[in-house]
Homo-oligomer: A and B are copies of this chain.
Amino acid sequence: MPEASPSKWHLAHTTWFFETLVLQAHAPGYQPVDSRWARLFNSYYEALGPRHPRPQRGLLSRPSLAEVWQYRRQVDDAMQGFINSAGAAEWSAAADTLRLGLHHEQQHQELLLTDILHAFSLNPLRPAYAPAPERLPDTTCPPLRWRSMAGGPVQVGHEGSGFGFDNERPRHTCWLAPHALASRLVTCAEYAEFIADGGYRQASLWLSDGWAEVQARGWQAPAYWLARAADGSHGDGYDHFTLHGVQALDPTAPVCHLSAYEAAAYAAWAGARLPTEFEWEHAAAQQSGDGSALLQQLHGAAWQWTASAYTPYPGFRPLAGPAAEYNGKFMVNQLVLRGSSLATPPGHARLSYRNFFPPAARWQFSGLRLARDEVSA
């Protein structure tokens, strides 16, 4: 898959980010470890020069993994030196980008896992990234409840002095119509009902582009689901391929590795729809405000597809310098996901966090929460 990268590349790219945007920009006299590597480990920064084609990242047998680890140690050392010695002016100039680099690395920590899972899924040996944990007794899945939310103007977006990406700003008003949100994510068992009811064979449930994907790719279940029956039918249920190898599906766990098309088709089948990103954010903010637990699985279970296209907020300003390309230039042809997944590093996510992927993407830890319109009183 052209979108996935080898682990060695992730390791080198996050290193390059610190080297280029912090050390070369701000550390006096810093010389890059190997000036030729900029072309290899630059992901998509046009302003930083030519780049190695993304689909060819897997062919780079040089530099070796050992060289990349050595690169990382050298840059780590140089970063430590810079942090120790930087004067106030240098620090002031570099601090925001350094902090961006840390959050950037956290993003790649999750991508590293999604890309390994994808690569291993193509290997007939079905290798496991890590041994399976001792299986805990299945928790009983709480019933899905609908939480009604009144309409009107609400504030969304990042505020305050804590870290947030440029795409979360500025905080602004938007107007919500009355609606309700499901108290928890859709489960594997619920999604299996959709399949059993012929969900993948009813065009009327699907967006037109989604139906075309279903036909072209032969989708019959979420990514990594494996029909147990020899004929691919779902009568015998499914296993799924995970970072722990092939495992039995947990019917109470959130369904995962869905495209937005599948999420939307499931929602249509269930007589509901996807939430907008602002419905999600507003409800999540309410939640944290009053301390109750109206909504479960906001974070740490699965990214939640929204119905919102990834577009700039009113008054959006990209970061200055090369980091301008971090987010803004991708604001078309993608949908927003909210929340976070089991693979998201602790502390990385926020209420205002906007993850984004094209609607056909399935290799992320992406699930869904239902929403529906409510008639105003």
Question: Which segment of A84-92, A325-333, A347-355 sits at the interface?
Answer: A325-333
Complex Cα gap A335–B310 (Å): 12
Measured between beta carbons, the chain B residues less than 8 angstroms from A208 are: 44, 325, 329-330
Q: Is the pair A311, B308 in contact by a Cβ cutoff of 8 Å?
A: yes
Q: Is the pair A324, B62 in contact by a Cβ cutoff of 8 Å?
A: no
Whether A234 is near chain B, meaning CB under 8 Å from some CB there, is no
Measured between beta carbons, the chain B residues less than 8 angstroms from A61 are: 6, 119-120, 123, 127
Complex Cα gap A375–B37 (Å): 43
Complex Cα gap A120–B203 (Å): 29
Complex Cα gap A260–B39 (Å): 30
Whether A255 is near chain B, meaning CB under 8 Å from some CB there, is no
> Among the listed B59, B127, B209, which residue makes an inter-chain contact with A122, where contact means beta carbons less than 8 Å apart?
B59
| Given A177-B315, A359-B333, A127:B62 Cβ within 8 A | yes
The majority secondary structure among interface residues of chain A is: mixed
Measured between beta carbons, the chain B residues less than 8 angstroms from A153 are: 153, 175
Q: Chain copies in the assembly? A: 4
CB distance from A208 to the nearest CB of B (A): 4
**What sequence of 0s and 1s flags, for each residue 362-377 of chain A, a beta carbon within 8 Å of any chain B beta carbon?**
0000000000010000
Whether A207 is near chain B, meaning CB under 8 Å from some CB there, is yes
Interface size on A, residues (CB 8 A): 61
Q: Is the pair B46, A207 in contact by a Cβ cutoff of 8 Å?
A: no
| Given A119-B61, A312-B307, A40:B124 Cβ within 8 A | yes
Give A245-274 interface residues, CB cut-off 8 Å to B.
260-261, 264, 273
**What sequence of 0s and 1s flags, for each residue 45-67 of chain A, a beta carbon within 8 Å of any chain B beta carbon?**
01100001000101111110000
Measured between beta carbons, the chain B residues less than 8 angstroms from A335 are: 332
Whether A125 is near chain B, meaning CB under 8 Å from some CB there, is yes
Whether A240 is near chain B, meaning CB under 8 Å from some CB there, is no
Q: Is the pair A314, B179 in contact by a Cβ cutoff of 8 Å?
A: yes
| Given A208-B330, A309-B311, A175:B175 Cβ within 8 A | yes
Q: Is the pair B210, A39 in contact by a Cβ cutoff of 8 Å?
A: no
Complex Cα gap A125–B38 (Å): 11
Q: Is the pair B36, A125 in contact by a Cβ cutoff of 8 Å?
A: yes
Complex Cα gap A333–B314 (Å): 21
Measured between beta carbons, the chain B residues less than 8 angstroms from A225 are: none
> Among the listed B36, B211, B373, which residue makes an inter-chain contact with A314, where contact means beta carbons less than 8 Å apart?
B373
**What sequence of 0s and 1s flags, for each residue 297-313 of chain A, a beta carbon within 8 Å of any chain B beta carbon?**
00000000001110110
Whether A204 is near chain B, meaning CB under 8 Å from some CB there, is yes
Complex Cα gap A184–B174 (Å): 28
